[in-house]
Amino acid sequence: MNPKQTAAARALEYVESGMRLGLGTGSTTAYFIDLLGKKLQRGELSDIVGVATSERTAEQARRLKIPLTTLSRSPRLDLAVDGADEVDPQLNLIKGLGRALLREKIIEVHAERFVVIVDESKLVSKLGEHVPLPVEIIPFEAAAHVVWLNTLSGCRAELWLEDDASPIITDNGNYLVRCYFEQAIGNPQTLARALSERPGIVEHGLFLSMANAVVIAGEKGVRVITNDQ
């Protein structure tokens, strides 16, 4: 197994029959969903129902015959499993470079436990060290939102574009901006508050104080860091 598969396999140990699961989006979580589907097919797990964080994840789940539901039908999820783009020492996360941050956050706040699966390259001392922070904005006056984001301290913001130079459009019909920070993000809580209060910004990729456990795969095997509240 590669590190992503190893982390996904370890995260699957948190799943028990009868659970309602939040199913994340991204390459690492795709391995988890694949393994989950195989366990269901072999009868090793049963009565599992998932809520998908993206159309891509929903398509994969349906292909593997993993039953799906919605938050309106299952507002309390036992567990959500997803990847992350960065993880700091307090288990704060940057997520959303898989283009699904809004739905991920909506679903993951409904979970009793949120388990994150990563390889050790995603560990950082400060968020924003290696990857940009994705921010979902409404299309109306999109350029104005990008201009404002560029006024944030140390931030260089740009509209995220497809290869044909058209704006990336999320499953929600919105645009995405990538925010690069020269010296990483000094105070994620302050930044998250500023982004949340700004009209036109729908959601941001700072997932703060949400993860209960992070499963980390590296050259020396798998380790788990917990932050259970």
Mean pLDDT of the 33-55 span: 98
In a domain, 155, yes or no: yes
Residue 91 maps to which CATH number? 3.40.50.1360
Residue 142 inside a domain? The answer is: yes
Q: Look at residue 182 and tell me whether its pLDDT is greater than 80.
A: yes
The residue segments making up the domain with residue 44 are: 3-124+208-219
Pair (137, 174) in one structural domain: yes
Q: Which of 86, 104, 108, 136 is catalytic?
A: 104
Report if residue 89 sits inside a domain.
yes
The secondary structure of 32-62 as a DSSP string is HHHHHHHHHHHTSS-S-EEEESSHHHHHHHH
- Do 174 and 195 have their domain in common? yes
Residues 22 and 105 in one domain: yes
- DSSP assignment of the chain equals --HHHHHHHHHGGG--TT-EEEE--SHHHHHHHHHHHHHHHHTSS-S-EEEESSHHHHHHHHHTT--B--TTT---EEEEEE--SEE-TT--EE--TTS-HHHHHHHHTTEEEEEEEEEGGGB-SSTTSSSPEEEEE-STTHHHHHHHHTTSTTEEEEE-B-TTSPBPB-TTS-EEEEEEETT--S-HHHHHHHHHHSTTEEEESEE-S--SEEEEEETTEEEEEE---
Q: For residue 228, what pLDDT band results from cuts at 50, 70 and 90?
A: low
Structure confidence by residue, pLDDT tens digits, 4-40: 999 999 999 999 999 999 999 999 999 999 999 999 9
Q: Tell me how far apart the alpha carbons of residues 37 and 42 are, in angstroms, rounded to a whole number.
A: 9
On whether both 102 and 213 belong to a single domain, the answer is yes
Contact 81, 36 (CB under 8 A): no
Look at the chain and report how many structural domains it folds into.
2
Instruction: Say what the pLDDT of residue 188 is.
Output: 98
Q: Which of 138, 131, 56, 141 lies closest to 100 in space, CA to CA?
A: 56
pLDDT at position 219 = 86
Residue 58 lies in a domain: yes
Q: What is the dihedral of CA 56, 59, 60, 61, to 10 degrees?
A: 120
pLDDT of residue 201: 98
Q: Is 108 a catalytic residue?
A: no
Verify that 104 and 53 share a domain, yes or no. Answer: yes
Structure-token pair, residue 94: 């940057």
Q: Are residues 34 and 95 in the same domain?
A: yes
pLDDT of residue 229: 44
Please check whether residues 83 and 149 belong to one and the same domain: no
pLDDT digits (tens, 9 = 90+) for 58-73: 999 999 999 999 999 9
Whether 23 is covered by a domain: the verdict is yes
Backbone angles phi, psi at 175, to 5 degrees: -100, 165
What are 3's two structure tokens? Answer: 């590190």
* Percentage of the residues of the chain whose pLDDT score is greater than 70: 99
Same domain flag for 81 and 156: no
Claim to verify: residue 89 and residue 192 sit in the same structural domain: no
Mean pLDDT value across residues 142-157: 98
The residue-averaged pLDDT of 36-58 equals 98
224 within some domain: no
Residue 225 belongs to some domain of the structure:
no
Q: Residue 146: inside a domain, yes or no? A: yes
- What's 193's domain CATH number? 3.30.70.260
Q: pLDDT digits over 184-217, tens only?
A: 999 999 999 999 999 999 999 999 999 999 999 9
Are 65 and 149 within one domain?
Answer: no
- Per-residue pLDDT band for 169 (boundaries 50, 70, 90) equals very high
Q: What is the pLDDT of residue 209?
A: 97
Reply yes or no on whether the pLDDT at 180 is more than 50. Answer: yes
125 has pLDDT over 50: yes
Q: Are residues 111 and 212 in the same domain?
A: yes
Do 15 and 90 meet the contact criterion of CB atoms below 8 Å apart? no
- Contact at 8 Å (CB) between 95 and 205? yes
3: pLDDT confidence band, cut at 50, 70 and 90?
confident
pLDDT-derived band at 220, boundaries 50, 70, 90: confident
For residues 212 and 197, state if they share a domain.
Answer: no
What per-residue confidence (pLDDT) applies to 140? Answer: 98
